Structure 1
């Protein structure tokens, strides 16, 4: 079975600077795979290439066995690859429910002819979209804010809405970019629980960039470590925490020459 995401010998240059260097990795179907590494390791650049925001200088990227190198985000959306952002991208003047209803593509109400002459078709489609949005609200347990303007929500609530937007289409894989940033621990626990449920109950594959090692430890197996633009290793978080090369990459080694724990790791 082909991996859900496969990156083969991908390099990205910015002038003379090589941000990602001959990088290869895979994200297996049905996994929650983490991507960690020190600042400047190339994680965000790699994520941007997988998401279609940047084109590789060389190499190839595959989604579910089909090459997607150079495809744009809207094209990847149509193939089931979605991304959430470190800073939520909500429609601030629409309600939570309306934000969810905006997601499905090809809505007949967007077509002037349908809007004028096929009102029944438009109403039936909108009814189905609303029902699905209400199901998402129930799943995420955010009914208390469904009629609130999205711009009035907290950072964590906005990220729950972003996660909900991925549920409005048939997502194959979701790229999660620093979901812990700016989120309090209570809402972060809610986010993590919903990610686990989507993975377990609906078969979502997740690819996660995150600096919060507690969250990585809870959600991700395996974990990929990047350093200097390339993959250093892949394994469980326990294996990674015990690897002196990883500690060297994060800390430059410890004064005693022995491995120390990664940020957020427990003894």
Structure 2
């Protein structure tokens, strides 16, 4: 297996509470891997450690063959790992198109000297970034709201915009945090379809933490199950649903929630 994310024996404690206990798991390159479990299972803590928001107490996190344990989110961003959030973090007073154009780092126009002495270089870069943003808008079928203030978009449109941000920098891996939260059923289908297209057509790898079992079942293979800070199962959703111990202990019957 070609693991793009490899979590090795990671633990995290908060005072007397052990949130993650010597947990190991991996995300295969090119996969859409789901992470589920009951409330308090430790999945959010593990997810935040992978994303660089929390530093593990012990263990190692490998990304693309390199040890990235303890790196900050902006450092992981430069390496090609991006994260979306349960609550979208858009620039509400900028248009959808402008939100996308803000994403690429180290743009020439960020330098005052370049704006004075290299205006042609700044203009050429701005044109290229704008064209890429328009291409992303078209891919996600958001052209009808490209000039709308991002703060006025629906919850589902904001989630699509967050996906678009990851496309502006050609991310290797996208961490999706509760992507279905606040999204109506119609837009959720569009969101899922775009995740599938980004995976199959553009080669994106996704690591998904989600409570919507129907969405997990549609998108993810494999699905990793956590409980009490540890990984307890991994496999296709059909196998997870068919495991009576998991169903009874963590989901009830039938499977309803993570």
TM-score surpassing 0.5? yes
Does residue 139 (structure 1) correspond to residue 132 (structure 2)? The answer is no
Question: How many angstroms apart in 2 are the aligned matches of 1:249 and 1:29?
Answer: 31
The aligned counterpart of 1:256 is none
Matches within 5 A, 1:1-150: 2-150=2-150
Per-residue CA deviation, residues 33-84 of structure 1 (Å, 9 max, x unaligned), is 0000000101110110000000000000011111110000000000000000
Unaligned runs of at least 5 residues, structure 2: none
State the secondary structure of the residue aligned to 2:3.
coil
Superposition TM-score, scaled by structure 1 size: 0.94
Note the alpha carbon deviations across 1:127-174, whole angstroms, 9 max, x for none: 000000000001001000000000001111100000000000020000
Q: Distance in 1 between matches of 2:184 and 2:222?
A: 25
Unaligned runs of 5+ in 1: 254-259
RMSD of the alignment, in Å? Answer: 1.2
- TM-score normalised by the chain length of structure 2: 0.98
Shift of 1:186: 0.5
For the residue of structure 1 that corresponds to 2:41, the secondary structure is coil
Structure 1 residue runs of 4 or more that deviate by more than 6 Å after TM superposition? none
CA distance in 1, matches of 2:209, 2:223: 10
Choose 186-195 or 235-244, whichever is displaced more.
235-244
Name the structure 1 match of 2:200.
200
Deviation digits for residues 196-249 of structure 1 (CA, Å, limit 9, x no counterpart): 000000100000001101000100000000000010000011101111221233
Report the alpha carbon displacement of residue 264 of structure 1 after superposing the two structures with TM: 6.6
| CA distance, structure 2, for counterparts of residue 117 and residue 185 of structure 1 | 51
Q: How many residues are aligned here?
A: 258
| Partner SS state of residue 94, structure 1 | coil
For the 8 Å contact 1:2–1:65, the answer to whether it is kept is no
Deviations 1:166-195 (A, max 9, x none): 000020000000011110001000000000
Contact 1:214 1:264 in 2 (8 A): no
